[in-house]
Chain A
Amino acid sequence: DSGVTQTPKHLITATGQRVTLRCSPRSGDLSVYWYQQSLDQGLQFLIQYYNGEERAKGNILERFSAQQFPDLHSELNLSSLELGDSALYFCASSGDFDTGELFFGEGSRLTVL
């Protein structure tokens, strides 16, 4: 158990809809990272938050947004969903930056029909 909690574990929705994925980092970790894993693209970094502030952006679509709340949990919002958004979405957290290690949640499997 990594200590990172993601909900929901599975989600099925229709094209055009909006969903919210939730992540609780390990206790005390200030950084949260979101990744998308699809079959043909591997693990793609989407966005990072540090102590409530956006710190780095990767290949995140404009239809996607995220935030980190004062209690350090984070939400990833996906809107106007398309079939191609079907993927496994991972949240990871880290404490200090000395080791570089990320601790991953179990992922949220999104299926868009």
Chain B
Amino acid sequence: AQTVTQSQPEMSVQEAETVTLSCTYDTSENNYYLFWYKQPPSRQMILVIRQEAYKQQNATENRFSVNFQKAAKSFSLKISDSQLGDTAMYFCAFTPSNSGYALNFGKGTSLLVTP
């Protein structure tokens, strides 16, 4: 079974600061995809960033970047220059590559950005 663990139930960061959310996963697969999804109070699930396991280069999307450590099975999300609109639940997720199978989600980290 593949498990995704987010060890930080809640985090807080001040506006304009940088915060890192942690995620670890367990799998015997060699090729897979990892994701961070954001769920703001509107409850819509929004893709933040995606990483393919075979790519060594860490994915970046504007202020969002990941630190992907395949050997350690770690996939952390760094948010730079935090904005009030970044306040949301953040979910880490995993799926084997090209499988079309459902994403396996962690329990989420609630991030609060304060002025």
Q: Which residues of A contact B (CB under 8 A)?
A: 2, 31, 33, 35, 42-43, 45, 48, 50, 55-56, 58, 88, 90, 92, 94, 97-102, 104, 106-107
> In the complex, A27 Cα to B101 Cα: how many Å?
19
Q: Which residues of B contact A (CB under 8 A)?
A: 33, 35, 37, 42-47, 50, 91, 95, 97-108
Cross-chain contact B43 with A88 (CB below 8 angstroms): yes
Cross-chain contact A104 with B44 (CB below 8 angstroms): yes
Number of A-B contacts (CB under 8 A): 56
Cross-chain contact A106 with B44 (CB below 8 angstroms): yes
Cross-chain contact A94 with B100 (CB below 8 angstroms): yes
For A101, give its contact among B47, B97, B98, B99 (CB under 8 Å). Answer: B47
Cross-chain contact B105 with A42 (CB below 8 angstroms): yes
Q: Known contacts A43-B91, A101-B35; decide if A90 and B100 are in contact (CB<8 Å).
A: no
A–B Cβ pairs within 8 angstroms, 24 of them = A2-B44, A42-B107, A42-B108, A43-B91, A45-B102, A50-B100, A88-B43, A92-B45, A97-B99, A97-B100, A99-B50, A100-B33, A100-B50, A100-B95, A100-B97, A100-B98, A100-B99, A101-B33, A101-B35, A102-B103, A104-B45, A106-B43, A106-B44, A107-B43
